[in-house]
Amino acid sequence: MIRLRHLLPAVALGLGTPALGQLNDLDEALRTTPIRAERLGDGLHALFGVGGAIIVSIGEQGVLVVDDQFPEMAPKYKEKIRELGGGDIDFVINTHWHFDHADGNKALGPEGTWIVAHENSRRMMMRDNVINLVTSRRDQPAYPEAALPVITYADGMMFHFNGEPIELLHFGPAHTTGDTAVIFRGHNVVHMGDVFNNAGYPFIDADNGGSLNGVIEFSSRVLERIDERTIVVPGHGPIATYADLEAYVEMLTAVRDRIAELIESGASLEQVVAARPTEPFDARYGNPASFVDRAYASLVRER
């Protein structure tokens, strides 16, 4: 078988867990944060550490993971996978190209793990990027060859692995232009990546083609492919349900409609912020500042 140093404001990004958002030093988080496992079914677990949530499938055919956090976390989650009965990681699916979900490619790829992603995510990983986080900017340099996806797809693809179909779906620009939803059909579990943030308002990477309308469309299309019993794993935050994802779409739609109405009336970003379009939802989702900024940018671009 073929086998960073400053933490940016993670809560504002939608790129970190709430606990991570309280830390000022990413090095400290990477050193001290353990991997926590939550069982999703026989041979299927969610792993939480620093960065995006991981799903790991362990079975007779080997080990497949969805997302791989940071290189420094790889020894920790590989040890947890061994505790759960698995061995070396055979496949990793990147839900998108952002550093907190895909930088682990730099550790796994050189070891021979096959990396899979949407074609747009591979394209982004091949070049130097800047992520506009509103309060700061994050440089994400091009990945080395060994850390790039070796398998890509355009609209959808299927794995048949460890006794179940695993469906990869893409519905256009959303959180990024290269998002993937991963549905484990045998377990009735879906990993949404950062299209669904269950720890706060989502981050829309508007400067790199992300779209609030796209997040609504992508999430709505996933809801059509799952059912009310589906376990929904978000990019960040606690494991959720169909009803949680449905409520998230309703919230985003209401906020989108309010911001779009203000834009149509000629409102500037400052005026949109002052109008507090997210106010009914702030108690649930937290500080909306970066979300409103990026939502406004994406809606203005799409006019």
Provide the pLDDT for residue 18: 36
End-to-end CA distance of the chain: 49
**Position 143 in a domain:** yes
**Position 51 in a domain:** yes
- For the chain, what is the domain count? 1
What's the CATH number where 152 sits?
Answer: 3.60.15.10
Cβ atoms of 68 and 92 closer than 8 Å:
yes
Single-letter code of the amino acid located at 7: L
**Position 296 in a domain:** no
Beta bridge partners of 64: 57, 91
Q: Is the dihedral of CA 235, 239, 243, 248 positive or negative?
A: negative
Question: Over its length of 303 residues, how does the chain's per-residue pLDDT go in tens digits?
Answer: 333 333 433 433 444 433 333 345 888 999 999 999 999 999 999 999 999 999 999 999 999 999 999 999 999 999 999 999 999 999 999 999 999 999 999 999 999 999 999 999 999 999 999 999 999 999 999 999 999 999 999 999 999 999 999 999 999 999 999 999 999 999 999 999 999 999 999 999 999 999 999 999 999 999 999 999 999 999 999 999 999 999 999 999 999 999 999 999 999 999 999 999 999 999 999 999 999 999 999 999 999
Q: Kindly report the backbone phi and psi dihedral angles of residue 92, in degrees, each rounded to the nearest multiple of 5, phi listed first.
A: -125, 130
SS3 of 89-101: CCEEECCCCCHHH
**Position 1 in a domain:** no
25 three-state secondary structure:
strand
Distance CA 164, CA 186 (A): 5
The pTM is what?
0.92
Distance CA 302, CA 173 (A): 12
Provide the pLDDT for residue 1: 33
Distance CA 6, CA 178 (A): 25
Angle in degrees, 0-180, between the axes of helices 289-301 and 242-264, rounded to the nearest 10: 60
CA angle 175, 251, 220 (to 5 degrees): 55
Beta bridge partners of 167: 158, 183
For 177, the token pair is 């232009």
Q: Kindly report the backbone phi and psi dihedral angles of residue 191, in degrees, each rounded to the nearest multiple of 5, phi listed first.
A: -100, 125
For 292, the token pair is 């409103």
Q: Is the dihedral of CA 55, 84, 64, 26 positive or negative?
A: positive
**Position 22 in a domain:** yes
Domain hosting 152: range is 10-243
Cβ atoms of 118 and 180 closer than 8 Å:
yes
